[in-house]
A = this chain, B = another copy of it.
Amino acid sequence: MRDSRHESPNPVEKLAPKAVVGRVSLYLRQLEAFRAQGQVTISSNQIGTALGINDAQVRKDLAFFGQFGHPGVGYRIDELLTALRRILGIDRDWPMALIGLGNLGRALLKYRGFGDRGFNIAALFDNDQTKVGMRFNDLVVHPLDDLPKVIADKNICLAILTVPAEAAQRVADQVVACGILGILNFAPMPLNLPPTVGVVAVDLSVQLEHLAYKVLNTQGGISYLGSTFRDEHDSLE
């Protein structure tokens, strides 16, 4: 699985925290919007104002990955876009396996916004015999026994897990044994995997708890803390 797609063109010294990477994704989207409006250069203040993020935070986040600004000019949008895409790894294609064709899995199949970032669902798997052989988006559902062959044939390195919680660890072990390098895990339980496998967990009840916490502490009857409210992309280091 270690072909050229996985060579980082600009290996960083240490891994950026999740919050920084999340904000870089936002900067990328905002830069694309500015470029679509015909803008050529931009300041950290303009990026920050558009996103509700402090301009010092914008500069600090970008500086984590390199020196991108030009004195007296700011950032050149095209140049910064190319750099951010390379940093995030979306300057290449990422064929993915979707495992678990329940409601969530089928919803993700129709989710727009994966493909235009290079993330393409290239193979489907489910152990439910009533689903094996069905077709979605011109892809046929394979049984999990086919994982080694299909993952190798299609050069797949990421897996989306939309399986029940009780099956998640077992299925994760199976895909890792097939050489999968990263897992987007929707099952509401943590996975225990080798440190060489990247895992990003999407636990929707965690997100709702964060929302409840925010609502209680910004709008709570006793303590109205509007001035300390931070937006959804906060978590300043």
Contacts and interface: CB of A to CB of B under 8 A. Distances in A.
Q: Chain A binding site: helix, strand, loop or mixed by DSSP?
A: mixed
A135 interface: no
Nearest to A186: B111
Interface string A165-180: 1000000000000000
Given A106-B103, A201-B232, A237-B237, A211 B195 contact: no
A210 B235 CA distance: 16
Given A106-B107, A107-B103, A8 B209 contact: no
Contact of A212 (B11, B182, B235): B182
Interface string A114-130: 10010100000000000
A14 B14 CA distance: 30
B226 A196 contact: yes
Contact of A200 (B184, B219, B229, B232): B232
A123 B211 CA distance: 18
Given A15-B230, A204-B111, A22 B215 contact: no
B209 A182 contact: no
B18 A221 contact: no
A208 B215 CA distance: 27
Contact of A221 (B7, B203, B207, B219): B7
Residue with the highest number of chain B CB atoms closer than 10 Å, among A111, A190, A217? A217
A87 B18 contact: no
Contacts of A215: 6, 89, 157-158, 181-182, 198
Contacts of A25: 203, 205-206, 209-210
B205 A202 contact: no
Nearest to A188: B113
Contact of A88 (B199, B213, B233): B213
A20 B214 CA distance: 12
Contact of A214 (B104, B200, B214): B200
A16 to B, nearest CB: 7
A212 B113 contact: no
A25 B202 CA distance: 13
Given A18-B232, A198-B215, A199-B211, 5 more contacts: A89-B212, A104-B110, A181-B215, A182-B214, A200-B232
